[in-house]
Homo-oligomer: A and B are copies of this chain.
Amino acid sequence: MAEPIFDRLAIIGAGLIGSSIARAARDYGAAGEIAIVDASQQVMARVRELGIADDAGGDMAQALKGADLIIICTPVGVCGVVAQAIAPHLEKGAILSDVGSVKGAVVAQIAPHVPAGVHFIPAHPLAGTEFSGPDAGFATLFQNRWSILTPLEGADASAVARLANFWTRIGAKVETMSPEHHDKVLALTSHLPHLIAYNIVGTADDFGEQTRSEVIKFSASGFRDFTRIAASDPTMWRDIFLNNREAVLEMLGRFNEDLSALQRMIRRGDGEGLFDFFTRTRAIRRSIVEQGQDTSAPDFGRR
């Protein structure tokens, strides 16, 4: 196996993403040693049982000693607090990164706490499932998925390259962009779809018991796809919407405009308009499948 890219990787937060990075870093030999710290005693106990870290003692100073890559894998809302707590233990030359789904707010929260000589390089792997916690993680989660790095102006190029190598080693494809651009793109590709999915499931939930049970019973007709997305971690998603407010509200405004237009077509019985609209959207699906971003198997291959 190729040489490890980092001597010691410290992961703060052992959820789906953190525990997957730990497993992947070991399986693909991306780090010499792996330390995991989580604020929950229960999660720490589970991490020890799973055996996915070399150091799962739970002591922050100990975990960070000698760490040349530190990845904050907590919900976005607490990453500033975490950065402040770990700052005294960060060693010169180390790379500090994260996996947050928003980048502008994360930069604003973390950057002030980063000591001189430490390279802060924000990152966001576009990977995950609707499950949470250390048991939900797996080593191949990042295979063929994008990991977006959003280095700040004047970032050390060799440090950025080293972090990119780490992600490539564990299976990801790496792209680099500004935090602002990231937040706009993700508002459209991820945050808005999740908001809409949460909303439609909530609408169904608002009906009485009888309707709700019928909705569940007959969910295979379309609804169930939305419920998978709307089953994602509530804390994570609360933090995303609070921290990417402007971009999400802008995309939502556009979505609402378009929905009003569709609504009007239905009300007026504009069959031609509906047909054209529904034809246009098919082409996007085709491109996604062609670019290997999703399976072409019917129903995601779930039969």
Contact = CB atoms under 8 A, between A and B. Distances in A.
Interface of A: 77, 126-127, 129-131, 136, 140, 143, 145-146, 148, 175, 185-186, 188-207, 211-212, 214-232, 234-235, 237-239, 241-242, 245, 248-249, 251-252, 254-256, 258-259, 262-263, 265-267, 269, 271, 274-275, 277-288, 291, 293-295, 297-303
Contacts of A300: 228, 299-302
A231 B285 contact: yes
A155 to B, nearest CB: 22
Contacts of A207: 188
Contacts of A188: 203-204, 207, 211, 215, 223
Nearest to A124: B221
A190 B222 contact: yes
A294 B219 contact: yes
B215 A222 contact: no
Contact of A291 (B199, B205, B216): B216
B230 A274 contact: no
A267 B175 CA distance: 30
A207 B241 CA distance: 22
Given A130-B298, A203-B251, A238-B275, A228 B227 contact: no
Contacts of A224: 288, 293-294
A245 B218 contact: no
Given A222-B194, A291-B216, A298 B263 contact: no
